[in-house]
Amino acid sequence: MPSVSTLILNALTMTGEKSLDISTFTQNETSYHLSRLNSMMDSWANERLMVPYLSQTSFPLTSSTVSYSIGSGGTFNMTRPTKLVDPCFIRDTQNVDSALELINMETYGRIVQKSTSGSYPAYIAYDQGYSATSTGTIYLWPGPSANLTLFINTLQQLQSFSTVTVTLQLPPGYQDAIEANYAVRSALGVIPVSPDLKEMARTTKAAIKSANLPAPISRLPYGVAGSMQSNIITGP
């Protein structure tokens, strides 16, 4: 896999800022482009279809406990996820899974009695926290009974680069997209961006989104399924 310095050089060659026979960077150029490239990768992590994979993690739940910190050093000790995505579910001691409905914090805030306990939670909400070093918080309602395990699917942050010698560790297609899109980003305010380069940036990013698009699940109409969460696989 290519190094970050190669990605940056290829991008700057596309715009004409660098020529093929000048493959070195000053210290200021290195710091600037590394920061800008990491900024682009950080922004892509907020786009669901730019994340190439979901991470499924499981944690034991504590009876009647409705909130759990998640992140480095949290009750759920893992990299703090960007967001939770479907499906999240509860598994009992008989290995039977019960789906959770993922709700936002605004909806969770409207629940009047948040300390209510029940056999199985039905809803899950996630407050991802503010700073990069903080933990997020997962909320369940109603509170779980003992001997249940929570399974969550999360979007993780995309690869970031500490130095320009780090190598790219992402699936096929990302190198082309990173180079083309960073070329456009680096040229802004410096050099005119050609229509061909803009189109390349757009199409390479669209190709990744197409590859990462989840397979759809066709759900039954509400009038048929009633209040149950159903689809054509599980039935009503």
Look-up: residue for tokens 């942050």?
157
pLDDT of the residue at 72: 86
Q: Which helix (H) or strand (E) holds 27?
A: helix 27-44
* Confidence class for position 67, pLDDT limits 50, 70, 90: very high
pLDDT of the residue at 217: 54
Encode pLDDT of 84-136 as tens digits: 988 999 999 999 999 999 999 999 999 999 888 778 999 999 998 766 568 89
Rounded CA separation 59/90 (Å): 10
Q: Which helix (H) or strand (E) holds 155?
A: strand 149-155
Encode pLDDT of 127-147 as tens digits: 987 665 688 999 999 999 878
Total-model pTM: 0.69
The average pLDDT across 161-188 equals: 94
Identify the bridge partners of residue 154 per DSSP, sorted by sequence position: 55, 84
Identify the bridge partners of residue 163 per DSSP, sorted by sequence position: none
The CB-side HSE value for 181 (13 A sphere, CA atoms) comes to 22
Look-up: residue for tokens 């320009």?
164
Rounded CA separation 120/143 (Å): 7
Question: Strands of 149-155's sheet, edge to edge?
Answer: 55-60, 149-155, 83-91, 97-103, 123-127, 136-141, 67-71, 76-77
